Amino acid sequence: MITFDKYKQNLRATGNAVYSYNTKVAEIDHKSRTITPLGWWSVTTSKHINYVGAEYGYEVQEIKPKTTKKEEKSKFPYYVDVPLSVDASGNIIEWANTKISDEEEERDIITTAEKFIERNESK
């Protein structure tokens, strides 16, 4: 176990781990000379991890913050009304409610709609 001058009471390291306030907060990889945080931590705990990295001369890996439930929720699938058929004058006479499952389907629908608009604007 190693303790450090700056944070004697609340920071320590073992062979392959960093502990802040007795909680394992990062893993140390001596072979790759990196320290990997085990999650998104408070400012103080992040300072502890970065301090150990500086003391060891190791790179601290960047951890992205957890996404919120709202961010995790995808916009797919969703449904959109698309023209199914048109008359000779270009008027839409039938619509279809189409499920859009991913970005590729979304691009296809948008491209088709743009072509439809261009065709009918030129009439």
Q: Which of 33, 60, 87 is the last residue of a domain?
A: 60
Q: Which of 60, 85, 106 is the last residue of a domain?
A: 60
- Confidence tier at 31 by pLDDT (50, 70, 90): very high
Q: Which of 16, 31, 60 is the last residue of a domain?
A: 60
Total domain count, the chain? 2
Residues 56, 11 share a domain: yes
Query: Is 11:3 a contact under the CB 8 Å cutoff?
Result: yes
Residues 78, 50 share a domain: no
Which string of b and e fits 55-72 if b means at least 16 CB within 10 Å? ebebebeeeeeeeeeeee
What angle (nearest 5°) sits at the alpha carbon of residue 27, between those of residues 23 and 28?
130
pLDDT tens digits along 37-60: 998 888 889 999 999 999 999 999
Residues 56, 13 share a domain: yes
Residues 94, 44 share a domain: no
The residue segments making up the domain with residue 98 are: 74-121
- Confidence tier at 28 by pLDDT (50, 70, 90): very high
Residues 97, 49 share a domain: no
Q: Is residue 68 part of a domain?
A: no
pLDDT at 67 over 70: no
pLDDT at 11 over 80: yes
Task: Give the residue among 2, 29, 30, 31 at the shortest CA–CA distance from 14.
Answer: 2
Q: What is the mean pLDDT of residues 14-18?
A: 93
Residues 107, 81 share a domain: yes
pLDDT tens digits along 69-114: 665 667 777 777 777 777 777 777 777 778 888 888 888 888 887 8
User: Which neighbouring-strand residues pair with 23?
Assistant: 20
pLDDT of residue 66: 62
Q: Is residue 67 part of a domain?
A: no
Q: Is residue 90 part of a domain?
A: yes
